[in-house]
Structure 1
Amino acid sequence: MAVASKFSRRFFNNPFPLFSFHFSSSTASSLPPPIRVALTDSVGRAVFATRSIAAADLIHTASPAVCHPSSARPACYACLASLPHSQPLRSPFCSQHCHQRSKGYYDVEMNANWVAFDDYCGTRGLKYPFLVKRLVCMVISGDARSDTLDILQPANFTPEMVSEMEEEFVLLKSAFTKALIGDEHIAFLTKQWYINVLARIRINAFRIELAGGPYEDLLSLAVASVEAEAAVGNAVYVLPSFYNHDCDPNAHIIWIDNAHAKLKALRDIDEGEELRICYIDASLDRDARRELLFRGFGFQCNCHRCLHGD
């Protein structure tokens, strides 16, 4: 028998879209979109230019499908904008707009006890389970679908890795169950669903560094040798996740004030050319780059720069 939910219907209605992207309006409206996504025989999905794109042009922007602030720096619960250190924890929003647009899943999260889950993940340095927790809250509140991230490429997990996820899943589901959320609202939350979502987050999560630090595109990898304190959080996007990697990219992704991503051209791009970003710190030497990419993404980089020993 389902436990009666203590949430009112206002938790399950939200007028705001989950995520979106749009193209630069700096060109005439009669022009086609500057990019298209297509399947390739060699690398799966890829992003291609539908027309010439000039260096420094804004290609498109994208809002995250799901994001979560870092525990190291105060950031807005909804958009990851930096917050003053003096701002009370009971009001973790940068604006009334962010408060309103995330109220549904914020209320879901705040009505559960996360001490055991947060302690477990925190002591082990785990970041991705917090993104799963946020997504579950969004699904429960009606702000997202349970299959939101299914379109993204998943990582491959070994049986040992799956076994290690058992306890964090149990703690996650237990928190919702103890919060008296009805069974009908968490029927999707199975161990297999948790693993499938985590597999997609693992290789598609971006580590969000706001402008003021380096502009290089860095993905949130457990193996990345970067300072956690430099990031305001992590986020997963749909369209930006279709960009393939190159150690000498022709595009990059930046964040100015919050997790609203901007994809910009690094140099002139020809019509039909594939747009690629760099998943890691491009200043690393070739061996370090290839090892990091193999460990984090499971592929051996054969871009022009790597093949020529740079």
Structure 2
Amino acid sequence: MTPLLRTSRYLSPKFKKIILQSSLSTVSTTNHGGDSPSRLGPPPIRVDFTVSAGRGVFSTRFISAGELIHTANPVVSHPFLSKCDVVCYLCLRRLKPGHCTEQFCSEECKEQSKAFYELEKKADWFVYHKYCSTHGLKYPLLVKRLACMVIAGAASENCLDILQPAQVLPEIEEEHSLLRTAFEAADTTEESLKFLSNQWYANVLARIRINAFRVEMVSGLYGDLLSSALASVEAESGIGNAVYILPSFYNHDCDPNVNIIWMDNVHARLKALRNIDEGEELRICYIDASMDFDARQNVLLNGFGFKCSCNRCLSKD
């Protein structure tokens, strides 16, 4: 994991303190145009305020098309319920046929998950999972995983506070009650569950809802993925969701200059789709960029709470 002190070098002073308290992990390359870094170092970016979209990510030098800008590990991830038997329970890597190391692809993933996984195994999640499946809910699974990590001491209860929350949330009392009941039935101490209030659940879910990424493994050649359209075509079906810190600071554009991809696990790679000038804001596309204008506006407004005014939308392309 990259030291957090290194992370602080490429942030505006306004963000250094809060980032240093978060679970950010990034690796960058200084080998322009290559995917294998010649040495580790801070990415060529900085996080700062934009004129109209809150926080944003900006380049600190010229970035060439195809360049690997940085990578990121998630704060929390969880496979889709339908994929739990075919992907690693931690890194979401597809398991080999006949794999028998419980739900993990390697001893390393098993060891990294040991604290929270032992806690998860003690609880009966049938009712909670059934509720999520019946109502088509995916983000409560991330809340469950994060709660296990907090109880196990693998994460802080406020590790997602730095992220922007959704403005409106559906009723969460029932799912919060089901989560807490599952822990209590597993004899989790009241002291350990002190943080797990209705308010904590709502605050975490509000941040997960608009910051979680749908993880799709790319099957094509990494070096050839120079357009979001190609990445979409070459991607397999989604296998889970993950929340990252730095990638969540990227604002949206329907014609992005950066793409986020996953090669074989939840370790995310952000790559330039075209040449990017020093000082230019880096943007990714939150949705399927192939949708028409009306569809994009509808999804962004209802799913993310904003009306897009990028150049592509202004021209109603």
Provide the TM-score with structure 1 as the length reference: 0.85
**1:206-244 deviations in whole A, cap 9, x for unaligned?**
0000012797879xxxxxxxxxx9111100000000000
- Given candidates 90, 112, 122, the residue that maps to 1:101 is 112
Residue equivalent to 2:93: 81
Q: Kindly indicate whether the alpha-carbon contact (under 8 Å) linking 1:32 and 1:50 is maintained by their aligned counterparts in 2.
A: no
Identity %: 56
Query: Does 1:52 pair with 2:62?
Result: yes
Q: Kindly indicate whether the alpha-carbon contact (under 8 Å) linking 2:119 and 2:152 is maintained by their aligned counterparts in 1.
A: yes
**1:17-62 deviations in whole A, cap 9, x for unaligned?**
9551121142687986400000124111000000000000000000
Query: Does 1:279 pair with 2:279?
Result: no
Query: Does 1:270 pair with 2:291?
Result: no
Residues of 2 paired with 1:45 and 1:24: CA distance?
23
Residues of 1 paired with 2:82 and 2:40: CA distance?
46
Residues of 1 paired with 2:267 and 2:55: CA distance?
23
- Given candidates 126, 133, 138, the residue that maps to 1:122 is 133
- Given candidates 282, 289, 294, the residue that maps to 2:296 is 289
Q: Secondary structure at the match of 2:213?
A: strand
Query: Does 1:250 pair with 2:257?
Result: yes
Q: Kindly indicate whether the alpha-carbon contact (under 8 Å) linking 2:27 and 2:41 is maintained by their aligned counterparts in 1.
A: no
Please list, as runs of the form range in 1=range in 2, the aligned pairs for 1:30-179 lying within 5 A after superposition.
33-73=43-83, 74-84=86-96, 86-87=98-99, 91-157=102-168, 161-162=170-171, 165-179=172-186
Corresponding letter in the other structure for 2:28:
F
- Larger RCO (alpha carbons 8 Å, 6+ apart): 1
Shift in alpha-carbon separation, 1:217–1:208, aligned structure 2, 3 A = farther
Shift in alpha-carbon separation, 1:84–1:72, aligned structure 2, 3 A = farther
Moved over 6 A (4+): 28-32, 213-218
Shift in alpha-carbon separation, 1:18–1:301, aligned structure 2, 3 A = closer
| Equivalent residues, number | 280
Moved more, 52-61 or 24-33: 24-33
Residue equivalent to 1:212: 219
Q: Secondary structure at the match of 2:81?
A: coil
Instruction: Quote how far apart the aligned CAs of 1:149 are.
Output: 0.5
Instruction: Quote how far apart the aligned CAs of 1:124 are.
Output: 1.1
Q: Secondary structure at the match of 1:294?
A: helix
**1:56-101 deviations in whole A, cap 9, x for unaligned?**
000000000000011223110110101145445x700000000001
Residues of 1 paired with 2:95 and 2:75: CA distance?
21
Residues of 2 paired with 1:51 and 1:45: CA distance?
19
Residues of 1 paired with 2:126 and 2:220: CA distance?
32
Shift in alpha-carbon separation, 1:186–1:31, aligned structure 2, 3 A = closer
Corresponding letter in the other structure for 1:188:
F
Corresponding letter in the other structure for 2:80:
S
Moved more, 20-29 or 33-42: 20-29
Q: Which runs of 5+ in 2 are unaligned?
A: 1-21, 33-37, 230-235
**1:146-176 deviations in whole A, cap 9, x for unaligned?**
0011100000125xx23xx111100100111
Corresponding letter in the other structure for 1:195:
A
Residues of 1 paired with 2:181 and 2:268: CA distance?
34
Q: Alpha carbon RMSD of aligned pairs, Å?
A: 2.3
Q: Secondary structure at the match of 2:188?
A: coil
